Amino acid sequence: MEIHVDKNACVGCGLCVKDCPMHVYELQDNVSVAVRPNNCMGCLSCHEICPAQALEHRGIYAARRHYIDIKVCEMLRKVV
Amino acid sequence: MSAGYIDEMHEAFHSDLIYRAEDIPLECSPKPKELEHTLHGVMKLNGLVIRSLEEIAGRGANAVTYRAGKKFGHEVAQYFQKREDVEGALHELSDLLRGQYSFEVWKPEDKETFIIEENGETFIYLVFHDCIVRQTLRRNGLDQGGPLCQTLFGYVVGAVEEITGRKAKLEIVHTGPNACLKKLILK
C-alpha cells in the first residue's frame, strides 16, 4: 500500500491522525505524514474526513458501490 | 380511472406464454442490469425498516437485529461442513457470504500471526471489503455501526459458532466508506 499526502494541500488539521484506528498518520511540522502505510487496511475514512482532499492511496481494493443514485449518475454523466 | 388505461394495464400483464408446473427457470429474469432499480428499492426499504426500528426501539434495536442475524447465521451454516480449525471455518464463511460480503483476514504489521492473543483474549481481525449493509446504509444516509450492521455481526457469529462449535463474539473496531475492521473474538 502506498499513501501519498499532498504537502501543499494538507492544512495540518490532524483529523486523519485522530480518525485512523491503526495510527497510520502522524503530524510532523504541521503536515500529515503516513508513517505506517503497511498498517492501512484501506477503509478510506481519511479520504472522507480530509477537508483538503490531500490524500491518495495506491494499490487499494475498491469495494463495490451500489449506493450511488442511478438518476444522479445519469445527470452527472451529462455534465462530466 | 379510464377504461382505456385499465385495458392498457391488462395488456401489459398478458402474454401467450405457456408456463408448466415443471418448468424451472434457468436464469435470472430480467437481466441483472435491469434489476438495478429493484436493488435500490430493496436498499431503500431496508433503510426505512431500520430507521423506524431505531426510532421505536431505541438502543434495543441493536439487540433485536443481532439476535435475528445470529439465528439466521446458525440456520444457514448448519448445512456447511463442520470444522474445528478457525482458518477452515473462515474459509467456509467466505463461501457462505459470497456475493453479498467479501472479507479478508488481516493483521497489523507488528503482529506475527493472524491469530492474536492480547489482554487475555484470542482474536482475529477481519476486514470487510464488499458489504451490502454498508451499501444500504450509505444509500439511505444512515450511520454505520447501527442495527443493520448488528445483523451482519450476528450472522457472522452464528455461522462461526455453528461451523466450529465454539462460542464467538464480533466487535466493530472501525467503519469506513471502503472497508470496515472487525475483531472476531474466540472463546
pLDDT at B1: 59
Is B45 part of the contact surface with chain A (CB cutoff 8 Å)?
Answer: no
pLDDT at B28: 67
pLDDT tens profile B43-59: 889 899 999 999 999 88
Over residues A26-31, mean pLDDT? 95
Is 90 exceeded by the pLDDT of residue A67? no
Backbone phi, psi, residue A32, to 5° = -75, 135
User: CA-to-CA distance for A28 and B187, rounded, in angstroms?
Assistant: 41
Domain A2-79 has CATH 2.40.30.10: no
Nearest chain A Cα to B130, which residue?
A63
List residues in chain A touching B: CB distance below 8 A. 21-22, 36, 38-39, 41-45, 47-48, 60-67, 69-70
ipTM over 0.95: no
Is 70 exceeded by the pLDDT of residue A38? yes
Residues in contact with A26: Cβ distance below 8 Å, sequence separation at least 6, in sequence order:
A17, A32, A33, A35
pLDDT tens profile B1-38: 567 878 888 888 888 877 666 766 666 677 777 888 88
Which residues in chain A have their CB less than 8 angstroms from residue B181's CB? 21-22, 41, 43
B180 and B144 Cβ atoms separated by less than 8 Å: yes
Lookup result for grid cell 436493488: B39
Highest-pLDDT range among A5-19, B131-145, B159-173:
A5-19
Over residues B126-152, mean pLDDT? 89
Tell me which residue in A36, A43, A69 faces B179 most closely, judged by beta carbons: A43
Which residues in chain A have their CB less than 8 angstroms from residue B135's CB? 64-67
Which residues in chain A have their CB less than 8 angstroms from residue B133's CB? none
- Percent of chain B, pLDDT > 70? 94
What residues does each domain of chain B span? 28-186
Contact B108 A69 (CB under 8 A): no
Q: pLDDT category, B113, cuts 50, 70, 90? A: confident
Which residues in chain A have their CB less than 8 angstroms from residue B39's CB? 66
Residue range B28-186, CATH number: 3.30.1380.20
Task: Please tell me whether residue A5 adopts helix, strand or coil conformation.
Answer: strand
Helix or strand (DSSP H, E) at B39:
helix B36-57
Distances in Å between the Cα of B149 and the Cα atoms of A59, A69, B47, B57, B186 are 27, 21, 12, 16, 20
User: CA-to-CA distance for B113 and B116, rounded, in angstroms?
Assistant: 6
